[in-house]
Amino acid sequence: MLIFDSPFCIDDYQLTAANRKSRTVRSKPTKAKLKIFAGAGAADDTLTFDGSNILLDQDAGIYPNESPLVTLSTAAGVVYQERTPSLTNIHLSANSETWGTEYLKGERDVGIDDFRVQESFVSPASAPGYAKYKYKGRAVGLDLGAFTARAATWRIQWGGTCFTTDLACANGSCKPAK
């Protein structure tokens, strides 16, 4: 399988403090939560993340089975970046499918060892059709003990299609900026 890593976002759908309460119909991140759990050693921290995105049919298309690239950054630069390991189809139904790293949990010393993304298709009669992507994962064996930023950015990227969320952080937890 060939995966194209765009060096930039061709389409970048953003959730910021300024557009957070906007009720317009648009492609966007709808949720992002990150939590850093300190480990016993220097490179023994765990990052958990979960979120959801909406992508209008008219805007673009992504393939959830293509392993996305996740990035946590601050004004000082990239704190953590990794492509999720190989995804397999876990569940398929008439209007949704789930992809994930079914057998990796606890098997990797460093990096993403657990990730799932569920794609649901929605076709309302009086509005544009869209896909909703819910994802959840964790990365282990990291050295994030120095992460004390009050503001950060989370991005999940499939090829040139990006979903970027501005985050407010405190005590190792981050959620969308208000």
What local confidence, expressed as pLDDT, does residue 1 receive? 46
pLDDT (mean) for 36-48: 89
3-state secondary structure of 140: strand
What local confidence, expressed as pLDDT, does residue 162 receive? 92
How many angstroms separate the CA atoms of 25 and 161, rounded? 18
How many angstroms separate the CA atoms of 39 and 143, rounded? 9
4 pLDDT more than 60 = no
pLDDT (mean) for 14-31: 88
* Contact present, 128 and 25 (Cβ < 8 Å): yes
Confidence of residue 21 (pLDDT cuts 50, 70, 90): confident
3-state secondary structure of 86: coil
State pLDDT tens for residues 107-159. Answer: 899 999 999 999 999 888 888 889 999 999 999 999 998 899 999 999 999 88
18 pLDDT more than 80 = yes
The angle formed by the CA atoms of residues 91, 139 and 53, to the nearest 5 degrees, is 55
How much is the mean pLDDT over the chain? 89
How many angstroms separate the CA atoms of 98 and 88, rounded? 9
Which of 32, 33, 29, 34 lies closest to 15 in space, CA to CA? 29
How many angstroms separate the CA atoms of 135 and 129, rounded? 20
State pLDDT tens for residues 94-110. Answer: 899 999 997 888 889 99
In terms of C-beta density within 10 A (0-12 exposed, 13-18 middle, 19 or more buried), how is residue 88 classed?
exposed
The whole-model pTM stands at 0.89
Residues 6+ apart with CB under 8 A from 168: 150, 151, 174, 175, 176, 177, 178
What are φ and ψ of residue 162, in 5° steps?
-120, 150
Specify the higher pLDDT residue, 168 or 21: 168
